[in-house]
Amino acid sequence: MHGVPTKYQSHQILMKYKKHIFICTNLKPDGKKSCGEVHGMQLVDAFKQLVKDHNLSVDVRAQKAGCLDVCGFGPALVVYPEGVFYGKVQLEDVQEIFDKHIVHNEPVERLRLKF
Ligand code: FES
């Protein structure tokens, strides 16, 4: 098959991690609202700690990311391979996202951004 792989195919190939969490920590100039300015880095630290606590470092990676282009809904993050975006994520939401989506594969609908 040629061209861009289908969604299904892209899940089948070359995934180093079972779940890859990208958390926006972008800081915009001039004090404009941005995920990094709110608590983006704290979200990264919280997810990293849960990955470590659950001994899932081989299968799950949480890392900081630049702007995800959903700034108005920040703090934002995205979980792959599903490509599920979350917005307005608070520190107290991290455990729920981790338990439901990362461990049990069930996205947290109340925080999910729908495009
Ligand atoms: S600053 Fe976080 S999505 Fe743009």
Ligand 1 pocket, Cβ-based, cut-off 6 angstroms: 24, 26, 34-35, 67-71, 74, 76
Residue 44 counted as domain residue: yes
pLDDT at 12: 60
Query: How far apart are the C-alpha atoms of 47 and 39, rounded to whole Å?
Result: 13
Q: Which domain holds residue 88?
A: 16-111
Query: What was the pLDDT predicted at 22?
Result: 98
11 within some domain: no
Per the DSSP assignment, residues forming a β-bridge with 44 are none
User: Measured on CA atoms in the order 57, 18, 94, 64, is the torsion positive or negative?
Assistant: positive
Is 5 part of a structural domain of the chain?
no
| Predicted local distance difference test score (pLDDT) of residue 13 | 64
Whether 8 maps to a domain, the answer reads no
Q: Is residue 66 part of a domain?
A: yes
Q: At 94, which CATH number?
A: 3.40.30.10
In a domain, 7, yes or no: no
What Å distances lie between residue 95 and 44, 49, 53, CA to CA?
12, 10, 12
Total structural domains within the chain? 1
Beta carbons of 74 and 33 less than 8 angstroms apart: yes
* Residue 54 placed within a domain: yes
Q: Whose CA is nearest to atom 1 of ligand 1?
A: 34
Provide the 3-class DSSP secondary structure of residue 37.
helix
The Å distance, Cα 51 to ligand 1 centre, comes to 23
The pLDDT profile of the chain, 115 residues, written as one tens digit per residue, is 445 555 555 556 678 999 999 999 999 988 788 999 999 999 999 999 999 999 999 999 999 999 999 999 999 999 999 999 999 999 999 999 999 999 999 999 999 999 8
In a domain, 89, yes or no: yes
